[in-house]
Structure 1
Amino acid sequence: MLSGGCHCGEIRFEVPDQAAFSTVCHCHDCRRQSGAPMLAWAMVPKAAVLIQGKPKIYSSSESGQRSFCPTCGAGLFFSNGILDRMGMMQVRIAALDDPNSISPRVQVQTAERVGWVGSLHELPAFERFPS
């Protein structure tokens, strides 16, 4: 099992160490809800996820539900009708204690990708904030 949690530590969770599917999503809903240009998700069996604490649930679309910490606001989980019927849910990879433990396999919703994301690799990079 892999562990993770929110920024303040109020919500902790464990998920299987093997994701059924993992992706970077560029959709408008993920961007607007997170304030980030993209989100990395791991799809895992809902019944295998252990959650300590009580996340708040926000209905972000007709069938989509996003769960987050009510104290610090960190986004954690996503579900919708399709995932529910499959017995699955999505967990934000960056909320894992070791986000390198699951690597995204594909990018989805690239039609909605922010234009400059495709050229990030061309920008100067610094290991820490430059002085």
Structure 2
Amino acid sequence: MTKGSCLCGGVTWQTDAALRPSVACHCTQCRKTSGHYWSATQVPTEALEITGDRLRWFRSSDSARRGFCGTCGASMFWQQDGEGKTSIGSGTIDGPSGIATAKHIFCADKGDYYEIPAGVAQE
């Protein structure tokens, strides 16, 4: 069982599904919602249990929404419509994650104030 939470603990989650390796997204939306790039693992939505009454959803595009804590503002989840999977912010995992970053995506949109480390796939 893997568990996680937001900064204030008002939203918690758990899953017994295997976590996908983390994917670091450098798109403008991810940078705006997190203040940097956003790295996330992913599980089937049906295998994810979310608790707490502070979870809020923001429709960030015509085809996706982002879940965050309404109290502390922590960016926690991302869901693509019709996909049946939920991306979970890797930084929300409580304790060791057991995963590694598999790739960086939307690299052309990255901020100019940092470099993407060599040795990991870039798209």
Q: For the superposition of Structure 1 and Structure 2, which TM-score range results when normalised by the shorter chain?
A: 0.7 to 0.9
What SS does the corresponding residue of 1:98 show, helix, strand or coil? coil
Which runs of 5 or more residues in structure 1 are unaligned?
122-131
Q: What amino acid does structure 1 have at the position aligned with 2:103?
A: V
1:60 maps to 60
Instruction: Judge conservation of contact 1:93–1:99 (CA < 8 Å) in 2.
Output: no
1:112 maps to 109
Which structure has the larger Rg?
1
CA RMSD of aligned residues (A): 2.0
Looking at secondary structure, tell me which structure has more helix per residue: 1
- Tell me the matched-pair count: 117
Instruction: Judge conservation of contact 2:24–2:38 (CA < 8 Å) in 1.
Output: yes
4+ residue stretches of structure 1 with deviation over 4 A?
Answer: none
2:13 maps to 13
1:48 maps to 47
TM-score by length of 2: 0.85
Q: Structure 1, residues 49-102: CA drift from partner, whole Å, max 9, x if none?
A: 011113100111111100011111111100012xx33x2110000011125422
What SS does the corresponding residue of 1:73 show, helix, strand or coil? coil
Instruction: Judge conservation of contact 1:16–1:44 (CA < 8 Å) in 2.
Output: no
What SS does the corresponding residue of 2:113 show, helix, strand or coil? helix
The percentage of aligned residue pairs carrying the same residue is 29
1:126 maps to none
2:94 maps to 97
Q: Structure 1, residues 13-59: CA drift from partner, whole Å, max 9, x if none?
A: 113462235301101000011112x1111111110001111310011
Instruction: Judge conservation of contact 2:21–2:99 (CA < 8 Å) in 1.
Output: no
Which runs of 5 or more residues in structure 2 are unaligned?
119-123
